[in-house]
């Protein structure tokens, strides 16, 4: 029993399961906006399982593909595959199970979610190769997460028939790209030496932090537009203000000569952003009824 629990715990650590907080609230937000209230419990269940499956598959594939790179990087050498805590064979099995869960959930929602599921898989799995070829890998990661709210909208309505999910997805894309650029600053020297592509490796840490600020400014502008288009009330506006303050605070934690508070900027602050928007915009939808 202890062995099984240990393996489960190690597997959840491999896929950073707790980081599901980054994207899952945006999927729920997309579903609530699509339903103009609470989706059915069946929809909520299958949306959740689809998100868990897709994200688990994406993280596992990334760990498999990057295991040799991770082994050479002091910051990532202790990860589960390079350190031998989990075998590559087990990771492949877990990947196939995760993909199966995602496809089953997509099929159980409606025909369009199932028809588009291979496209979603191509994006979320394909991101793992991006840093080998392009400096725009951060935007591709943003695109992978940005699928969630529009996919949830389709899961509820069976079509993408409004600008709201597009705006929400664009917000997620720019927000994710911004914090990923910040996080990649930690691997600035390693990426350059290894020939990997990233904005910090190309432009340096100081310039990259300014690029991250630009991405987050764009995300905030899109958030304001989303609020105006949605026509939601004061609670949603409070969410806009709170997220704006969090984004500003995040950038006060990190300087080009001091990345020691990167984990606080990346993990704590970003988890709050998605949850705040779900509570405020979701709450505003219910208050408007």
Who wins on pLDDT, 269 or 178?
Answer: 178
Residue 258 confidence class, pLDDT cut points 50, 70, 90: confident
Query: 233 with 287: CB under 8 angstroms?
Result: yes
Q: What is the pLDDT of residue 76?
A: 84
**Integer Cα distance of 76 and 205 in angstroms:** 19
- What's the pLDDT tens digit per position in 53-97? 999 999 999 999 988 888 888 888 888 888 888 899 999 999 999
Q: What is the pLDDT of residue 246?
A: 92
pLDDT at 214 > cutoff 90: yes
Mean of pLDDT values over 163-185: 94
Q: What is the pLDDT of residue 265?
A: 66
* Four-residue CA torsion sign, 205, 210, 214, 220: positive
- What's the pLDDT tens digit per position in 68-78? 888 888 888 88
Tell me which H or E stretch contains 167: helix 163-184
Mean of pLDDT values over 146-170: 95
Q: What is the pLDDT of residue 61?
A: 93
Tell me the pLDDT of the chain averaged across its residues.
90
Q: What is the pLDDT of residue 176?
A: 93
Mean of pLDDT values over 210-234: 96
Query: 81 with 63: CB under 8 angstroms?
Result: yes
pLDDT at 268 > cutoff 60: yes
Q: What is the pLDDT of residue 4?
A: 67
Tell me which H or E stretch contains 147: helix 137-157
Q: What is the pLDDT of residue 199?
A: 92
CATH for the stretch 2-287:
1.10.357.140
Residue 46 confidence class, pLDDT cut points 50, 70, 90: very high
Q: In this structure, what is the dihedral angle of CA atoms 51, 60, 209, 239, given to the nearest 10 degrees?
A: 20
Mean of pLDDT values over 113-136: 92
Query: Residue 225, class by beta-carbon neighbours within 10 Å (0-12 exposed, 13-18 middle, 19+ buried)?
Result: middle
Q: What is the pLDDT of residue 48?
A: 95
Q: Which position has the token pair 């990947």?
A: 95
Q: What is the pLDDT of residue 21?
A: 67
Q: What is the pLDDT of residue 264?
A: 67
- Give the whole-number percent of the chain exceeding pLDDT 70: 96
Q: What is the pLDDT of residue 191?
A: 84
Residues in the chain: 289
Mean of pLDDT values over 100-122: 96
Query: 92 with 11: CB under 8 angstroms?
Result: no
Query: 131 with 202: CB under 8 angstroms?
Result: no
Least confident span in 8-22, 42-56, 272-286: 8-22
pLDDT at 224 > cutoff 70: yes
Q: What is the pLDDT of residue 183?
A: 85
**Integer Cα distance of 144 and 125 in angstroms:** 9
**Integer Cα distance of 61 and 57 in angstroms:** 6
pTM summary value: 0.91
Q: What is the pLDDT of residue 2?
A: 54
How many CB atoms within 10 Å of residue 252? Answer: 9
**Integer Cα distance of 195 and 193 in angstroms:** 6
Mean of pLDDT values over 23-38: 94
- Give the whole-number percent of the chain exceeding pLDDT 90: 63
């Amino acid at each position: 029993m202890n062995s099984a629990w240990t393996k489960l715990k190690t597997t959840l650590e491999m896929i950073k399961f707790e980081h599901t907080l980054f994207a899952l609230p945006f999927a729920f937000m997309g579903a609530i906006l699509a339903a103009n209230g609470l989706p059915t419990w069946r929809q909520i269940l299958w949306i959740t399982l689809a998100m868990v499956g897709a994200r688990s598959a994406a993280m596992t594939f990334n760990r498999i593909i990057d295991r040799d790179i991770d082994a050479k990087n002091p910051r990532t050498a202790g990860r589960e595959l390079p350190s031998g805590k989990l075998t590559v064979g087990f990771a492949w099995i877990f990947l196939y199970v995760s993909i199966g869960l995602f496809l089953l959930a997509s099929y159980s929602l409606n025909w369009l979610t199932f028809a588009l599921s291979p496209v979603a898989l191509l994006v979320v799995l394909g991101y793992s190769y991006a840093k080998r070829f392009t400096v725009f890998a951060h935007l591709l990661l943003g695109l992978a997460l940005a699928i969630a709210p529009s996919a949830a909208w389709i899961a509820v309505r069976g079509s993408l028939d409004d600008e709201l999910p597009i705006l929400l997805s664009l917000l997620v894309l720019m927000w994710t790209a911004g914090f990923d650029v910040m996080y990649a600053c930690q691997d600035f020297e390693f990426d350059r030496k290894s020939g990997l592509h990233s904005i910090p490796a190309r432009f340096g840490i100081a310039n990259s932090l300014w690029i991250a600020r630009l991405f987050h400014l764009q995300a905030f502008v899109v958030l304001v537009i989303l609020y105006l288009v949605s026509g939601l009330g004061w609670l949603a506006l409070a969410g806009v203000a709170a997220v704006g303050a969090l984004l500003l605070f995040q950038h006060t934690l990190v300087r080009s000569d001091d990345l020691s508070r990167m984990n606080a900027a990346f993990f704590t602050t970003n988890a709050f952003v998605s949850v705040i928007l779900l509570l405020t915009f979701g709450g505003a939808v219910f208050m408007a009824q």
